[in-house]
Amino acid sequence: MSAGNDLDLIAGLVPTGSRVLDLGCGSGETLAYLRDRRQCTGYGIEIADANVLACEQRGVNVIQLNLEEGLAIFDDQSFDVVLQIDTLQHLRNTERMLAETARVGRIGIVTFPNFAHWPNRLSVIRGRMPVTKALPYEWYDTPNIRVSTYADFEVLARRCGLRILDAFGIQLGAPVRLCPNLLASVAVFKFERA
Amino acid sequence: MSFAEPLTLRCGAVLRDYTLVYETYGTLNAERSNAVLVCHALNASHHVAGTYEGDPKSTGWWDNLIGPGRPLDTDRFFVIGVNNPGSCFGSTGPTHINPATQQPWGVDFPVMTVEDWVDAQARLCDALGIEQLAAVIGGSLGGMQALCWSMRYPSRLRHCIAIATAPNLSAQNIAFNEVARRAIVTDPDFHDGHYLAHGVVPKRGLRVARMIGHITYLSDDTMDAKFGRTLRAAIGAEVVQRSGSPRYTTLDIEFEIESYLRHQGDKFSEYFDANSYLLITRVLDYFDPAREHDGDLSAAFAAATARFQLVSFTTDWRFSPARSREIVKALLDNRLDVSYAEIAAPHGHDAFLLDDSRYHGVLRARFERIAREIDAGSHADLARPGLGIAT
């Protein structure tokens, strides 16, 4: 499956030796990968007890916080890279968190499921909400409170005063640079404060 | 263990010689790298785990955490519990004889600080031949000691585990301590702190002090769940229908919570020394490492190199999560390794002594990691600063 390759592709955007803040770090897999293969240091932020425990078991620094309360404990530009891997769609205050990401990190990297991927469009044309590998939930039980498209994010990034440094889609573990809004299930953006 | 070398205290006084009572559990390994120091809070002691032979009720105060197979596994770690000077479980304190007067120290025992305690603990480690501790762990006032270790003896510990603690006490916290102290010193049996010479103990004051303390260690919800508004007379099947009818008394116990608090107060006044209570609440009040750095807590941690684990409990209003987050921020500012768990436990400050599985889970994971480091023999280079995440 693509998860391992997705991680390779995303990690490839993180400079070796970076100080990294991973917002919504889950079980700490990404941070452990960056530590072991790219000599990175840093911290994860997580709200779920089970994930905090998993991070502790991996030996990854984890700070249990609710991202909706903001990143006040982190100083401006105190990290080389701030990651939001599959976190954006769970946050109520998307815009503010994006601004916070750009404030705290010199580089921000955001990934999220691309709602405009063609099978999703097909599903909607057929009259049903999509249920796919990237969007595996029924509409009534999804934890994703914000669904958006690759193209939507470009607009929001501009609105938030972000300069996009790199952007592509990921489909089946491979990067998609041609028509990612149509052809990729995952959107990846690397940006800095303009 | 007796120490002949004088201990100079922050208040300027000198403890010319002193005794520290301690207990150890488990075995110190050949490299002397598996020692964990456990720091006690206000009213606990060196007896952190297990029971004494022939006394099944003598369970250590942190027995649910420490022991064979427990999160802090005494089959793998050499655990040290030490009674701090000024306390009343055997180490030199107010009930001991002042060599200058040949009378009990009483209230004249010098006022101690967290720093003094940590200095005394470091000397105990010297005497035990332990240059570097695998970890220092403590909750509440014990957590303050763990934090102090990381600032004062940065090279002498690899992990600092501070639970339900704070970088200093808030005004409200000091206020609670002051109420407790006033209860003690206004007890007619206090005799200006020299009650032992009068053959009495200010038990009434101690009881009230413990009652106010106990209220602040519990959450509103826990107290409500445990006692609610239940009338004491309503206990027992046949009088249940009376539960709605109070007796309209101002002096007798009416509500269950009153009965509980009085019981706690009575118990406490039987074993705890009043001057120790005054002194240790002061130890709490005075702890404020940022003070010497113009209030800058980050600067206070500038020398620290340990890896930190902090835990707080959402319903703990005496040492609230916000206070732990202040510490986390100061550690982040210094680019130190830190993990922080905020446990949604209902029990208030007391939660740090209970065995919530999420809480004990993260502690177990941390100690397993420390044990792995020890097994790998990699501890020698683990105290480097700014190492970031690493196993």
Of B333, B339, B386, the CB nearest to A62: B339
Contacts of B389 in chain A (CB under 8 A): 31-32, 35, 40-43, 59-61
User: Is B365 at the interface with chain A, CB within 8 A?
Assistant: yes
Please list every residue in chain A whose beta carbon sits closer than 8 Å to the beta carbon of residue B361.
53, 56
Other Cβ atoms less than 10 A from the Cβ of A26: the count is 19
> Is B214 near chain A, with CB under 8 Å?
no
Q: What is the pLDDT of residue A5?
A: 85
Question: Number of helices and strands (H, E) in chain B?
Answer: 10, 15
B residues 218-257 closer than 8 Å to A (CB) = none
> What average pLDDT score do residues A143-157 get?
93
Inter-chain contact A56–B362, Cβ cutoff 8 Å?
yes
B339 touching chain A per CB within 8 A: yes
Contact: B388, A61; criterion CB under 8 Å: yes
Instruction: Check CB contact under 8 Å for B342 and A40.
Output: no
Nearest chain B Cα distance for residue A61, angstroms: 5
Buried b (16+ CB within 10 A) or exposed e, B187-211: bebbbebbbbeeeebbbbbbbbbbb
Chain A interface includes B303 (CB < 8 A): no
User: What tokens were used for A181?
Assistant: 């809004």
Residue B233: predicted pLDDT: 67
Q: Do B388 and A19 touch (CB under 8 A)?
A: yes
CB pairs under 8 A between A and B: 74
SS3 state of residue A77: coil
Please list the residues that pair with B265 across neighbouring strands.
none
Q: Tell me the pLDDT tens digit for each residue of A38-66.
A: 999 999 999 999 999 999 999 999 999 99
Measured between CA atoms, the residue of chain A closest to residue B335 is A42
Contacting A residues, span 75-104, partner chain B, CB-CB under 8 Å: 75, 78
CB of A39 less than 8 A from some CB of B: no
From chain A, the residues in CB contact with B335 under 8 A are: 19, 41
Q: How many CA atoms lie within 13 A of B310 on its CB side?
A: 32
B7 touches B19 (CB < 8 A)? no
A49 interfacial to chain B (CB closer than 8 Å):
yes
Of A53, A60, A64, the CB nearest to B342: A64
The per-residue pLDDT for B72 is 98
A70, A91 Cβ separation under 8 angstroms: no
B325 contacts A73? CB cut-off 8 A: yes
- The ipTM assigned to this model is 0.92
Nearest-by-Cβ selection for A74 from B332, B338, B341: B332
**Composition of chain B by helix, strand, coil, percent to 5:** 45, 15, 40
pLDDT in tens, chain B (391 residues): 999 999 999 999 999 889 999 999 999 999 999 999 999 999 999 999 999 999 999 999 999 999 999 999 999 999 999 999 999 999 999 999 998 899 999 999 999 999 999 999 999 999 999 999 999 999 999 999 999 999 999 999 999 999 999 999 999 999 999 999 999 999 999 999 999 999 999 999 999 999 999 999 999 999 999 999 998 864 444 444 455 688 888 888 889 999 999 999 999 999 999 999 999 999 999 999 999 999 999 999 999 999 999 999 999 999 999 999 999 999 999 999 999 999 999 999 999 999 999 999 999 999 999 999 999 985 444 444 433 443 3
The string of pLDDT tens digits covering residues A102-127 is 999 999 999 999 999 999 999 999 99
State the amino acid at position A181 in one-letter form. Answer: N
**pLDDT (mean) for A67-96:** 93
A111's CB contacts (< 8 A; 6+ apart) are: A6, A10, A84, A85, A86, A88, A170, A186, A187, A188, A189
Q: Which of A42, A43, A56 sits opposite B366 (nearest CB)?
A: A56
Contacts of B288 (CB under 8 A, 6+ apart): B167, B168, B169
**Angle of the A3-11 helix axis to the A29-38 helix axis, nearest 10:** 50
Residue B110 is given by DSSP the state P
pLDDT band at A135 (very low <50, low <70, confident <90, very high): confident
Cβ contact A56–B389 (<8 Å): no
Q: Give ∠ CA B211-B212-B217 in degrees, rounded to 5.
A: 95
Q: Which residues of A touch B337 (CB under 8 A)?
A: 61
- Candidate from A53, A63, A75 with C-beta closest to B328: A63
Number of Cβ within a 10 Å radius of residue A81: 22
Contact A75 B391 (CB under 8 A): no
**Per-residue model confidence (pLDDT) at position B378:** 55
- For A66, which residue in chain B has the nearest alpha carbon? B342
Residue B295, helix vs strand vs coil: coil
* Mean pLDDT, range A90-95, rounded to an integer: 90
- Could you tell me which residue, B382 or A165, shows the higher pLDDT? A165
Active-site annotation of B, residues: 140, 316, 349
pLDDT for residue A3: 60
> Which of A30, A33, A63, A76 best tests the B interface by mutation, with the highest count of B CBs <10 A?
A63
Residue A65 vs residues A48, A109, A182: alpha-carbon distances, Å? 9, 20, 35
